[in-house]
A and B are shown apart, each in its own frame.
Chain A
């Protein structure tokens, strides 16, 4: 098990390094002036000072090493647009809202998605199955950037059931979390259904049935655990889904989160902010995938013992 964890950990570091390097060199390849339109009007002396200030006068490999060093220490640089704001400050300020939104929607999605999938599998090829899977199909086909405005418009503006935006009381959390969980519910439901059906055809389910166990008992103590195993492997992609979803949902519902900052930095072409936030997002996703792998190892005794897949 330890070997397995270590191996995953090394992969995690390599991937992070690749991303940091890629973003650094992309930044270097960038045509034009890194300080944007405003800076182009500055006299050359001032520009030179500015370049020295950001370390842009040194050879590229030195800049690269320095950059890696900074990132390793948790320093993602300072915004080119607003030199008084560091990327880390922005993260500290706006990440909590995103995290809260993400976790709330994930909990909701896991509960609803798994239940829907289990329900569909138990009603396999019956009306219940078809309707559950139709809901899931719509969830996959109608993306968050359609669901979010629709929810905001219908429930928020038209029927005035829930607040359509802002981030204040708990009632402000419901719509964004709902919009964000839509796709995840669908993915989880489909995966869980397929997995349940796969497990239900296995021999040991017949063994369990031959013991005289009730369907309920067979489902809860034999099928669920084995069926959830493969579902855990897609938690990584699901995290990606939720995080990219926050980019849209936060903009639509005016949530002061990191996704909103990210989209803003993209539209204003704030390069350090973009790269800094990309690295931060990538780190989160990679850590989530790493944890997923470890979790998978823990729930499956075959991996827990032998230490490999």
Chain B
């Protein structure tokens, strides 16, 4: 053994803290953001969504054409420098119509998500927070609504209300919130039983304070993930209804009725199907990959 100088065996002064933490410390949102950023697919989804949204907002304004004016001498044109996506059988510019339709679709998706958010969070939160008999009754109601097939109810509703954006949103709102309410309730129940909430309650914190300080931060990640799945569901919902003829009617453009039109003409003018389909699928695809990424990023169980 090599010789070690004697003074090395002097007691060491306490320099380092025994409990010092060497690992970089990240809070919940920083950590989630790091995970999301490292998920390339989800980031591509996010970027594509931002681009599509910008196009949907800007393109109809900048375009030389509007979505409904018919130019009967320009019918059935192939894509060109004047008409990027070509024209339809009424001579309407498809570039403008597709982005107009995207705008409608995104609008429906966002409104539906907001309604779901408010109703679902309130319903689920109240049900879980009060528990007991209140919860019991509210849950029975949910169970019944949950088993009513959304699409069928929506179809009869729209048949009776008359087609249009408003009807679609109302129909969706009537039943769509149930999933969110269930999710929020489950999560709140889980959090409610955890020690730190019990502790806060024992310390005499008021309900409002407990909800704001403890419950919401713990539930919000889950809600965000759920929203990224609600928006594409609502968009799909509109397109489906428009496709079977009870959604948004021409001359108003929506991705659903553009695809429906395109399907009829695809043999001779494939561009009429291709462009709205690509945009529509991109929206759904992006929301789905972003949602998957967010779920992985925000799931604390996955945190290492």
Contact = CB atoms under 8 A, between A and B. Distances in A.
A26 B160 contact: yes
Contacts of B246: 266
B244 A18 contact: no
B277 interface: yes
Contact of A153 (B243, B267, B280): B267
Nearest to A245: B240
B156 A274 contact: yes
A178 interface: no
A15 B147 contact: yes
A278 interface: yes
A146 B275 CA distance: 12
A5 to B, nearest CB: 16
Given A15-B148, A140-B284, A141-B285, A22 B153 contact: yes
Given A146-B280, A153-B267, A267 B243 contact: no
Nearest to B235: A143
A87 to B, nearest CB: 14
B159 A18 contact: no
B141 to A, nearest CB: 10
B239 A145 contact: yes
Given A244-B240, A248-B244, A149 B144 contact: no
A281 B148 CA distance: 10
Contacts of A157: 267
A282 interface: yes
A88 B289 CA distance: 44
B289 A247 contact: no
Given A157-B267, A282-B152, A137 B285 contact: yes
B144 A278 contact: no
B160 A278 contact: no
B259 interface: yes
Interface string B221-256: 000000000001000100110011110000000000
| Listed residue (B151, B152, B160, B232) with the most chain A CB atoms within 10 angstroms of its CB | B152
Nearest to A138: B285
What's the dominant secondary structure at chain A's contact region? helix
Contact of B159 (A12, A244, A274, A289): A274
Interface in B110-158: 143-144, 147-153, 155-157
Given A140-B284, A146-B259, A267 B148 contact: no
A26 B270 CA distance: 40
A251 interface: yes
A22 B157 CA distance: 10
Interface residues of A, number: 44
A142 interface: yes
A125 B270 CA distance: 37
Contact of B156 (A23, A240, A243): A23
A234 interface: no
Nearest to A271: B159
Given A146-B259, A153-B267, A266-B155, A11 B147 contact: yes
B260 A141 contact: no
A143 B245 contact: no
A143 B263 contact: no
B263 A145 contact: yes
Contact of A266 (B143, B159, B285): B159
A67 B287 CA distance: 44
A26 B143 CA distance: 22
Contact of A282 (B148, B240, B243): B148
B152 A289 contact: no
A35 to B, nearest CB: 16
B151 A14 contact: no
Contacts of A145: 239-240, 243, 259-260, 263
A285 B82 CA distance: 49
Contact of A247 (B236, B244, B280): B244
Interface string A274-294: 110010011001100100000
Interface string A86-111: 00000000000000000000000000
Nearest to A22: B153
A286 B151 CA distance: 13
Interface in B268-304: 270, 273, 277, 280-281, 284-285, 288-289
A140 B263 CA distance: 19
| Listed residue (A30, A145, A248, A266) with the most chain B CB atoms within 10 angstroms of its CB | A145
Contacts of B151: 240, 244
A19 B148 contact: yes
Given A143-B239, A145-B240, A240 B149 contact: yes
Interface of B: 143-144, 147-153, 155-157, 159-160, 232, 236, 239-240, 243-246, 259-260, 262-263, 266-267, 270, 273, 277, 280-281, 284-285, 288-289
Given A140-B288, A281-B152, 10 more contacts: A11-B143, A11-B147, A19-B153, A138-B285, A143-B280, A244-B151, A244-B240, A248-B240, A266-B244, A267-B245
28 contacts: A18-B144, A18-B148, A30-B160, A138-B285, A141-B232, A141-B284, A142-B277, A143-B239, A143-B240, A143-B280, A145-B240, A146-B259, A146-B277, A149-B263, A150-B266, A153-B270, A240-B151, A243-B149, A248-B240, A248-B243, A248-B244, A252-B263, A263-B245, A266-B159, A271-B159, A274-B156, A278-B152, A278-B153
Interface of A: 11-12, 14-15, 18-19, 22-23, 26-27, 29-30, 137-138, 140-143, 145-146, 149-150, 153, 157, 240, 243-244, 247-248, 251-252, 263, 266-267, 269, 271, 274-275, 278, 281-282, 285-286, 289
